[in-house]
Chain A
Amino acid sequence: MTAATIGQARGRPTRPRRSPWSLVGIGAFLAITWWAASREFGIGFDLVSVFTNLTRGASILAEFFPPNWAYLPRTFEPMLETFQMAVVASALGCGLALPVSFLASRVSTPNFPVLFANRTALNVVRALPDLLYALIFVAAVGIGPLPGILALIFFNIGVTAKLMSETVDGVDPGPIEAANAAGGNRTQVVRWAILPQVLPNYVAYSLYVFELNIRASAVLGIVGAGGIGNNINTARKFFQYDNLSVILIEIFVFVFVIELVSIWLRRRLV
């Protein structure tokens, strides 16, 4: 007997057919990509232009160097404003997000229709980009840091409450049962059985949102909502690339430092 016939005698299984869905998925993916990148239907993206543009752009890029360090002191106050916007918006936004997240979790809000309404509202709030909120608030209260802070508060609530509500969905139900069995009402159950379980996550999410806010508030000024974004607008309108590069470097350093602090804080708190 040869090896082949031995195998046959033992009944080798046939190779399982690859699920048609994965082929459909891959096909759809390629089709969408082609459609999105094509010139007729899409954005007209092709790799060749990337390189031709790079050479053309090299001359513009050269204008970024050397950075105009003399401009630096004039950026301090706007950067400070950026920082303060982020602090205030994170504090208020994350603070408000906590009760909102309990309203949007099936663990703490068992009433289905109410839960669904809350979740939908949260999804809508979360769907709007921060800059869009800034546009709306600038139209509502004028320019300055105020609309920026308001915009970020809404944005923060969207992000934090969504993350927190998913965390709350996953808590250990045991202490909740114990708190109910002891005669606690809904608020007490949330405060003592759920909150202690999710507090570490809450702190981590808040730090993360703060990092997001630092970056975001640097941008919001472009539509007039305060912070360094104003300077960016001015500089680009007047093609002051050397100023822009100073701002860019500054933002980068700032974000980097905040991240280091945040990592250190997270390690200390855990």
Chain B
Amino acid sequence: MIRFLNASVVYPGGVQGLKNLTLDIPDGQMMVIVGLSGAGKSTLIRAINGLVPLTSGDVLINDVSLRGASQKQLREIRSRIGMIFQTFNLVKRTTVLNNVLMGRLHDAGTGRSLVGWYRPADVEIAMQSLERVGIVEKAYVRASNLSGGQQQRVGIARALAQQPTILLADEPVASLDPPTSHVVMRDLQRINRDLGITTIINLHFLDLAKVYGERIIGLRAGELVYDGTGARADETVFRDIYGRSLTADDVMGQEAPAAIPG
């Protein structure tokens, strides 16, 4: 269970990232966060794995407080939280497999990871993660030679290789075209259901949020302004969250295709 207790983040320079956020996220939930750029979505996600430290308040992961944690403890906690990024953040010059093995860094230890002699068990986990997202045949291909959708799947595999209990996704489909976006979102949904991993996703396409969000959180200027199901979230709700009327940019506008393209 992830708990935010009156959490606030103020960036140097005075910008308020989060304001008195109190929130509980039960295990296994699929939660979508919506809000304008700068509303605090990225801040909230990064507060969960400590990449952004809180200025006040606390965030607890399974009753372990992040604020008091040492660097070592923080790394331990992070190793159980997978993260995928809008720009995929793969190491372009190396193979897909090496990228996925980055998910095993913490468990493999400094010595082994330094020379790249991973244990067979670690390589097996990496391979299985690649199989789960369906691109194991690309294991030895250079990461830069893949399409956007494939690169994001490698990112998901990297996160899965950590064998995480929580999965964070910061605008995972913003750089992808609509059909690929649906594929990725479906993969995330399937992972959430099959493996029971708590999944928290930032989206800025509201129609996607409605379709895939079991629970939707709306942020405005760092504050929680909406907390409800995907079904209940309609146009008025979104307009409330955004504080303005919706535009064409706010929806992806393409239905999930019935037959999934390759």
Contact = CB atoms under 8 A, between A and B. Distances in A.
B87 interface: yes
A179 B58 CA distance: 24
Contacts of A185: 75, 110
Contacts of B105: 179, 182-184, 188, 192
Interface in B49-95: 49, 51, 75-83, 85, 87-94
B90 A175 contact: yes
A200 B78 CA distance: 31
Given A188-B110, A192-B113, A182 B158 contact: yes
A182 B82 contact: yes
B17 interface: no
B106 A184 contact: yes
B121 interface: no
A187 B75 CA distance: 13
A178 B89 contact: yes
B88 to A, nearest CB: 8
Contact of B83 (A178, A191, A196, A197): A178
B110 A183 contact: no
A179 B88 CA distance: 12
Nearest to A184: B105
Given A182-B106, A196-B93, A174 B113 contact: no
Contact of A187 (B114, B155, B159): B114
B91 A175 contact: yes
Nearest to B162: A182
A178 B75 contact: no
Interface residues of B, number: 33
B51 A181 contact: yes
A182 B100 CA distance: 11
B51 A197 contact: no
Interface string B84-122: 010111111110001000110110001001100000000
Contacts of B103: 182
Interface string B142-161: 00000000000001001100
A196 B81 contact: no
- Contact-residue bracket for chain A: 20 to 34
Contact of B51 (A172, A175, A177, A196): A177
A187 B79 CA distance: 16
A178 B158 contact: yes
A270 to B, nearest CB: 12
A199 B89 CA distance: 18
A131 to B, nearest CB: 37
Given A179-B105, A182-B158, A188-B110, A193 B91 contact: yes
A180 interface: yes
Interface string A221-264: 00000000000000000000000000000000000000000000
Contacts of B80: 183
B85 A178 contact: yes
A183 B89 contact: no
B91 A181 contact: no
Interface string B122-134: 0000000000000
Interface string A129-164: 000000000000000000000000000000000000
A198 to B, nearest CB: 10
A180 B110 contact: no
Nearest to B83: A181
B91 A197 contact: yes
Given A191-B113, A192-B113, A184 B102 contact: yes
A175 B155 CA distance: 10
Across the A-B interface, the 7 shortest Cβ-Cβ residue pairs:
A183-B79, A174-B89, A183-B106, A183-B78, A178-B89, A184-B105, A181-B83
5 contacts: A181-B49, A184-B75, A187-B110, A188-B114, A192-B91
Given A174-B88, A183-B105, 5 more contacts: A183-B80, A187-B114, A192-B102, A196-B91, A196-B93
